[in-house]
Amino acid sequence: MAAVTRFKAAVRLTGRSVLLWSLLGRLPNAMCPIGSLLLVSHNSGSVWRGSAVTSALAVSQAVAGPLVGRLADRRGQRVVGLVAAAVNALAILALVAASELDLPLPAQLAPAALIGLSVPLVGPLSRSRWVRLADGDRESAAAAISLDGIMDEISFTAGPAVVGILATLLDPAAGLLLAAALVGVCGTLFARHRTAPAGTAGRSPRSREALSTTPFVLLLGGMALLGVCFGSVQVGVTATTEHLGHPGAAGLLYGLLGLTSSFAGVATAALSARFGLPLRLKAGTVLLLSSSLLLPGAGTLSALAVGIGCLGVAVAPQMITMFGLTERAVPADRLGEAMAALVSSITLAQSAGTVLAGRLADLHGPAAPFLVTCAAAAAAALLALTTATEARYRRRDHPATRIPPRVATGR
């Protein structure tokens, strides 16, 4: 009941419609990687070409994310979001056209890279927006960030599933076409909503403060280690289910990971404020390590499902906690940039974890990727246990860009 009460308070803070646009507007970010892989691989007959296009998208997004976040902080979420949504939708359509016309690989890599460069960052910018709307109310901010974390879990679980269903029932291009429509419409509505904060360029001397503070760098490291866990688990689940003769079960296990993570995110919102964020981070990383140790020895689908389900319980609370700690660790007028940097950190590390785990799977068998998961989880636990303290993450008193209270009631 406590979680429900806090989520209702978060909805009153943000407004119902902008939450809907935020949820639907971030779905394309989860749909485009798997959608581009399926489309290009299908049309070209080459998984390598599909992987190359997907990699171009992921790397460009990781590089550009903090830059787009900084532009949104300085120039305002509205103008940056509108431009990004328009360019992103056109880039997705360009990739579909290039693939359907079987153009040379460079002609497909270019729109894929542009997709990554122009992602509207609905997730990171929404978290920044909710913190500003909370206007110093820590409980409201925590509830909004928890709710936003659950929407992230829903999008990254539902996005690939929708693409897979559309590819099976209609055409591999259908998922990307839907993604273009969603980012064009819902990304635009999110950017135009009256809760969008104005920029701080020319108004705030605080914007010149360094973003790379020690607490924030530690959070980037923690998020990167979580990304390595994601990438290695993805490879491990795929390799293990294929080894067991049930490759189709991989999608169900990914869904289970998202499901248990979402429930854990809801439970996180019900925790007492006395259970502080640094302590939550320590507990979450210990749980992540304990759960990961179940995976290397999982020799059956049921054992793998238990391990993956337990792992999911640790994911959302960790991400929500690290986003909450970021709000304390960086200047308020650079919060969008900081949130985007966290997403870039986890994206790049996930790619690295996938490559490393894939190589180990080829050399040492399907259980080897989970050893990468265990190593990354152990490093995350060690990092949190030795550095996450209330003194280090004491709340900074940086004035956020204020939004008049009446704005927060807009529907």
Residues 330 and 219 in one domain: yes
Would you state the pLDDT for residue 253?
82
**Is residue 244, in this structure, part of any structural domain at all?**
yes
Residues 148 and 223 in one domain: no
pLDDT digits (tens, 9 = 90+) for 221-253: 999 999 899 888 877 887 888 788 887 677 678
Q: What are the angstrom distances between the C-alpha of 359 and each of 243, 353, 385?
A: 16, 10, 30
Would you state the pLDDT for residue 4?
61
Would you state the pLDDT for residue 230?
84
The b-or-e profile of 103-129 (16+ CB within 10 A means b, else e) is eebeebbbbbbbbbbbbbbbbbbbbbb
- Domain count for the chain, please give it: 2
**Is residue 148, in this structure, part of any structural domain at all?**
yes
Residues 179 and 258 in one domain: no
Residues 124 and 266 in one domain: no
**Is residue 405, in this structure, part of any structural domain at all?**
no
Residue 10 sits in a domain whose CATH number is 1.20.1250.20
On whether the CB atoms of residues 378 and 289 are closer than 8 A, the answer is yes
pLDDT digits (tens, 9 = 90+) for 375-400: 999 999 999 999 988 877 775 544 44
Asked whether residue 181 carries a pLDDT value surpassing 90, the answer given is yes
Q: Choose between 408 and 342: higher pLDDT.
A: 342
Which of 142, 176, 199 corresponds to the end of one domain?
199
Asked whether residue 20 carries a pLDDT value surpassing 60, the answer given is yes
pLDDT digits (tens, 9 = 90+) for 61-108: 888 888 888 788 788 888 888 999 999 999 999 999 999 999 999 999
pLDDT digits (tens, 9 = 90+) for 31-60: 888 788 778 878 888 767 777 887 788 888
**Is residue 404, in this structure, part of any structural domain at all?**
no
Cβ count within 10 A of residue 178:
19
Asked whether residue 409 carries a pLDDT value surpassing 60, the answer given is no
Taking alpha carbons only, the member of 331, 338, 27 closest to residue 154 is: 27
Across the range 177-194, mean pLDDT stands at: 91
pLDDT digits (tens, 9 = 90+) for 248-286: 677 678 778 878 887 887 777 667 667 788 888 999 999
Would you state the pLDDT for residue 398?
44
Residues 112 and 240 in one domain: no
Quote the tokens at residue 99. Answer: 């693939």
Would you state the pLDDT for residue 408?
38
Across the range 300-322, mean pLDDT stands at: 89
Residues 52 and 122 in one domain: yes
Q: Choose between 200 and 126: higher pLDDT.
A: 126
Residues 193 and 308 in one domain: no
Across the range 194-209, mean pLDDT stands at: 61
Residues 317 and 380 in one domain: yes
Q: 2 pLDDT band (50/70/90 cuts)?
A: low
Q: 361 pLDDT band (50/70/90 cuts)?
A: confident
Residues 62 and 91 in one domain: yes
Asked whether residue 27 carries a pLDDT value surpassing 80, the answer given is yes
DSSP 65-108: HHHHHHHHHHH-HHHHHHHHHHHHHHHHHHHHHHHHTT--HHHH
Residues 226 and 358 in one domain: yes
Cβ count within 10 A of residue 169:
8
Would you state the pLDDT for residue 302?
92
Residues 165 and 236 in one domain: no
**Is residue 411, in this structure, part of any structural domain at all?**
no
Would you state the pLDDT for residue 95?
95
On whether the CB atoms of residues 309 and 257 are closer than 8 A, the answer is yes
Which of 199, 223, 258 corresponds to the end of one domain?
199
Q: 155 pLDDT band (50/70/90 cuts)?
A: confident
Would you state the pLDDT for residue 403?
38
Domain that holds residue 213: 209-396
**Is residue 408, in this structure, part of any structural domain at all?**
no
Residue with tokens 């429930």: 263
Residues 178 and 214 in one domain: no
**Is residue 402, in this structure, part of any structural domain at all?**
no
Q: 172 pLDDT band (50/70/90 cuts)?
A: confident
Which of 145, 169, 199 corresponds to the end of one domain?
199
Would you state the pLDDT for residue 296?
93
**Is residue 283, in this structure, part of any structural domain at all?**
yes
Q: 337 pLDDT band (50/70/90 cuts)?
A: confident
Question: Mean pLDDT of all residues in the chain?
Answer: 81
